[in-house]
Every structure is written in structure tokens, then in C-alpha cells.
Amino acid sequence: MTTIPNLPDETALHDTALYLSEGGHALKWADSVKDILILDGPIFPVGLLAWHSGKPNLKKLLLENGPSRRALKTYIDLINSFVKPAAANGQQTPPLIGFVKNPRGSAIKSAFDSLPNETNSFVWGHDSSFFKQILSAHSTSKTQRGATTHDSTLVYTNWFISKGRIASKFEEFLLDPFIGILDHKNPLYDLTFFMIYDPRSGVVFRVESPYAFSQNPLIRQKIENFILKEMAIYNGPPRAINKADHLARMSNSQKVTLGKILAAHYNTRIDVNYNFIRWSSSSMDQLRDL
């Protein structure tokens, strides 16, 4: 019987597989990009980097040879494959960007939380809620003044340099003597971003890119125009992001087929709990009987 790898928990398996797959795919095609490479999600492996503070029991997986460390190294190489030529060739290098559909950063909130109680007036649960209120209010006020802005006008911020926990942790790995690619801090690798509010859906999105690209006004404008045009045409996230979502969606029958393959390969069966019984559909019930 085949032995299942001994990973600490499901989070380790999920995050490692996700970033190995997506990062590896992006790195494979990086040299073929002619215009813009857009990632479905952040440009840094946020899930892996969050282990350092949120899941200390998984932290060791990033410090020892194994699939999790290889996944992290993949993103380091991916970032470097764009930033290094950008530093040499400037505007001739296609920019790398990430489109984050569900941003949940907390750098601004954390800064306010560290202040004395009498000066802490940050009432939002996370930074995205803050940006959403600011941008939606701006959209509404322009409409009330009789400007050309209306319910379908996209509103966005200027660019910011991230100094949050995740960005700082990735910077540390860039300097790592074993998997890093830098021997001193280089601001061209800094994480930068801007936020977009879509009043048609009431949703806020985050667009990321290394500072190597966003430092240039012309490239910033190129990225902004690309994202805004795609969102305006496709009534939401850019076409490539929507296609990725479509390809990633699994039907119940596909889940059953995959469950049968895994059950047969590992000579096992699905681990059932009450939530599985409570929310299962008729097709998912077949998995329970494996």
C-alpha cells in the first residue's frame, strides 16, 4: 500500500500544492510573456509566509528541504525572473502583476491597533473594508455633484509600498543564503499595490506588482489601463482571472471521480464528520460509501 506523506495538517498540504502548482506554472511560461503576466492572487505566496506567525508548527517546513520550501523558492525565482531584467531593461520588460479578488490585509489596522486606546479610531475589521468605504464614498460624492461618474464607474487609489508582515517576511527569504537571490536589500523587489472599487458589485480588489515596475509612471499607467479596461469590458475581474476560476471549478461528479481515484490509490476512504453529512449532496454521498 502506498504511504501518504506525513504532513502536519491539511493546511500544509493545501498551501504547498497550491503554490507549487501555480508558481511553477507561472515560472514555466515567464520567458514567453510579451505584454503582462497576471497572477490569480498575490505575487507573494501569502499562505506559506503566514505560517511564520499564524501557524508556528508549520514554520519549520519553510526552513528545511522539502516541497514547501521548494514552493517558496519557486516564487522567489518567479519574482526575480521579472525584476532582474526590469532593472536592466526598464520599460522593455513585461510587468508581473497579481490580481487579488479577496484582499484581507491588516497592515493599516495593525498600525492603528498599536496606538493608545484614545487615539485608535480604526473601526474596520481589515484594511479592505477601510478602502471600500473610502472609495465608495468618493464615487457617491462625485455622482451627487453631477459629475460624469455613475454606478458603473471604477474608482481606484494611488500606489502604496507594502510594509506589512507578509512583505517583510518575503524580504527575509530573498536574503536567505540558501534559497534567496540577494546579498543586500533591494527596493526593486518591494511589494507595491493599489486598490480598485467596483460599484457594480460593491467589491474592492487589490492589484500588486514589484516596485521595479510601479516606480515607472509609464508602466504604472500601463498596468492601471490594462486592469481598468479588462474590468470594464468583462464586468468584474479580468478575463484571464475569470478563465482561471472557470477551469478550477469542480462539479460534484468530478469530485466523486477524484475521490474514487484517491481511495483506490491509497486503499483508504474519506474521513466523514457531521458537516459532511449535513451539507452533502446526493453525488457527494457516493464518496461517503467508498
Where do the structural domains in the chain lie, given as residue ranges? 10-236, 252-288
- Rounded to whole angstroms, the Cα distance separating 142 from 84 reads 41
pLDDT of the chain, 290 residues: tens digit per residue: 444 455 457 788 889 999 999 999 999 999 999 999 999 999 999 999 999 877 878 888 998 899 999 999 999 999 999 999 999 987 789 999 999 999 988 888 888 877 777 666 777 888 899 999 999 987 666 555 555 545 789 999 999 999 888 999 999 999 999 999 999 999 999 999 999 999 999 999 999 999 999 999 999 999 999 999 999 999 999 999 998 888 778 787 887 888 888 888 888 877 777 776 777 655 455 555 55
- Tell me the three cell numbers of residue 262: 484517491
Residues 85 and 31: beta-carbon distance below 8 Å? no
DSSP string, 144-197: HTT-S--TT--EE---EE--SHHHHHHHHHHT-TTT---SS--GGG-EEEEEEE
Residues 40 and 244: beta-carbon distance below 8 Å? yes
DSSP label at 5?
P
